[in-house]
Amino acid sequence: MKNRASVFPYLSVLAMKNRASVFPILIIVVMKNTASMFPVLIIIGLCSLISGLSPQYHFVIDQKNWTEAQKYCREKYSDLATIYDRDDIGSITEAVRSGFTGRAWIGLERGDLFKWHWSLADREFYSDREFDFRNWKQGEPNIDRNESECAAMYHTGEWFDDDCNNKKHFICIKGRRNDNKGFILLRQRKTWREAQTFCRQNHEDLVSVRNQSENQEILNVLQSESAWIGLFSDPWKWSDHSNSSFRFWRSKQPNNFGGNQNCVAAVLDNSGEWNDFQCKRSRPFFCQGRMKSKTPLPTIESATHSDKTTNQASKHTPQKSTTEPRTTERETTQFEKYITTTGPIDKQTSVTTYKYTERSTTEESIIERSAGDYLILLQENKTWSEALHYCREHHVNLVSVTTAATQNWVARKAENASTAHVWLGLRFTCAFKFWFWVRSEPGCYQNWAHGHEPAGMEVCGHAGAVESGGEHHWVSLPETERLNFICYTCDRQGH
């Protein structure tokens, strides 16, 4: 490879995380055969190098109640702010450039369902199903559903739930990497929240227990009595349906004073810590996501990531018919080719709209009706990746919805689901920061639910699902959620 004129350059762009964006690694490797030199685009470990996408936060000084603030953020950006870690606390503080030091709404509100979470919220710390590992003593948890509860470990290694305000010894995790990971027992009696604060200030966090082996390691440290671990239950939920378990409450908060403090604000003059307040109070607030363009989708984007662009313009030949002709619009779409861990994908780069006259035929309607015969609903709860693997192993693929006709069939199938949402073959690529269908097909059809439009839901680790009821809109959900799913199949399905 001494002849520089005959060799493609080697390009490497380092992945970097800041509070506004993430830059992917792109490596172009030259492979040589006897005929010619071919550049190959390889994507290596992109998401594993990034602990998560920090949302882009915007501070709005206009005072609104929580519901009005939520509506404003969904119309102008993506949603009210979701907080994932302490870095995001710093980000929202930096977003305030007006000198404001009071209280501002974030996207956390009280829900009806109590759920268990780990204090260490970073999902990349947990392998598949480790976030849901439990080792309850028989009969536990016997939680009072009207109060938040916290988990502790007996000297036997089994867990129990208790009032978070009780004082116990506690166990911290020193660090999350193998070279500094370890567990330390603090023989100081603190409430669960006090213990969490101590661990975060002096170590990493209250300990997470990810598997049985780790449970035994922690038990060896505990030896006797009982101690708090990092598991807690609460009813709080995020406006954008994120599964972030990060909490940053002020001391003795939330207290639900008066019985109707159901919304959360960051107290900026107190390090951004949180209080619960009445939702009807008017305050400034934080939005997340990019400001929405006034130009409707689809947009025209320039090619930036691929050395080769292919034209996949859709073609239409009007069918002969005795019915009256109708004039409609058709689009030609240009795509870029990408290679990802789920296979090759196409990204739309330009759209041209033109009008043509067509005549509908009986043959066309028959083909449209029969498309639903090749879709199958699996009433099994799987993560998005598990659903994709299952469809590819037992059928063809997760379903792609690129036309209104396919959406209609998917909606019919989804109505029989046992979960509120059903996985589609739609995923956000954190490498190139766009949504794509795992089965590469041209089409510009969109059916996003309000507040879940692509411009505002660009979150690494999210995939697309369809509502099983209502209007059957698409939503963006964490891939770790366990849902029913719809596959393409080669076997015709009965109705």
Write out pLDDT tens, residues 95-122: 998 788 899 999 999 988 888 889 887 7
Q: Which of 76-80, 479-483, 491-495 has the lowest mean pLDDT?
A: 491-495
pLDDT of 223 > 80? The answer is no
> How far is the C-alpha of 193 from the C-alpha of 281, rounded, in Å?
27
DSSP string, 7-25: SPPPEE---EE-SS-EEPP
pTM: 0.49
Count of other CB atoms within 10 angstroms of residue 333: 18
> What integer is the mean pLDDT of 347-360?
45
pLDDT of 360 > 90? The answer is no
> What integer is the mean pLDDT of 162-182?
84
What band does 351 get if pLDDT is binned at 50, 70 and 90?
very low
Residue % of the chain over a pLDDT of 90: 35
pLDDT tens digits, residue range 121-134?
A: 777 788 877 888 99
pLDDT of residue 187: 92
Count of other CB atoms within 10 angstroms of residue 318: 12
pLDDT tens digits, residue range 271-318?
A: 899 999 999 999 999 999 888 765 333 333 333 333 333 333 333 333
Determine the CATH number of domain 368-488: 3.10.100.10
Q: What are the CB-based long-range contacts (under 8 Å, 24+) for 217-222?
A: 217/183, 218/153, 218/157, 218/171, 218/183, 219/153, 219/155, 219/156, 219/157, 221/171, 221/183, 221/184, 221/185, 222/153, 222/155, 222/157, 222/171, 222/185
> What integer is the mean pLDDT of 182-208?
91
More confidently predicted of 459 and 231: 231
> What integer is the mean pLDDT of 253-272?
90
More confidently predicted of 353 and 371: 371
pLDDT of residue 299: 33
> What integer is the mean pLDDT of 48-58?
53
Q: Which of 64-68, 139-143, 489-493 has the lowest mean pLDDT?
A: 489-493
pLDDT of residue 359: 41
Reading phi first (left if > 0) and then psi (alpha if -120 to 50, else beta), residue 47 is in: alpha
Separation in Å, CA 468 to CA 288, 353, 416, 445, 485: 27, 32, 7, 19, 10
Element of type H or E holding 72:
helix 66-76
pLDDT of 363 > 50? The answer is no
Tell me which residue of 177, 171, 232, 175 sits closest to 207, measured CA to CA. Answer: 171
Determine the CATH number of domain 57-288: 3.10.100.10
Q: Which of 25-39, 433-447, 460-474 has the lowest mean pLDDT?
A: 25-39
DSSP string, 321-382: -SSPPEEEEEEEEEEEEEEETTEEEEEEEEEEEEEEEE---HHHHHHHHHGGGGEEEEEEEE
The four Cα atoms 433, 434, 439, 443 give a dihedral, to 10 degrees, of -160
Say if CB 198 and CB 216 are below 8 A apart: no
The angle formed by the CA atoms of residues 377, 383 and 388, to the nearest 5 degrees, is 60
pLDDT tens digits, residue range 305-318?
A: 333 333 333 333 33
Say if CB 398 and CB 438 are below 8 A apart: yes
> What integer is the mean pLDDT of 154-182?
86
pLDDT of 458 > 70? The answer is no
Q: Provide the sign of the torsion angle of the four alpha carbons 392, 396, 400, 402, taken in this order.
A: positive
Q: Which pair of structure tokens corresponds to residue 295? A: 């130009």
> How far is the C-alpha of 104 from the C-alpha of 284, rounded, in Å?
5
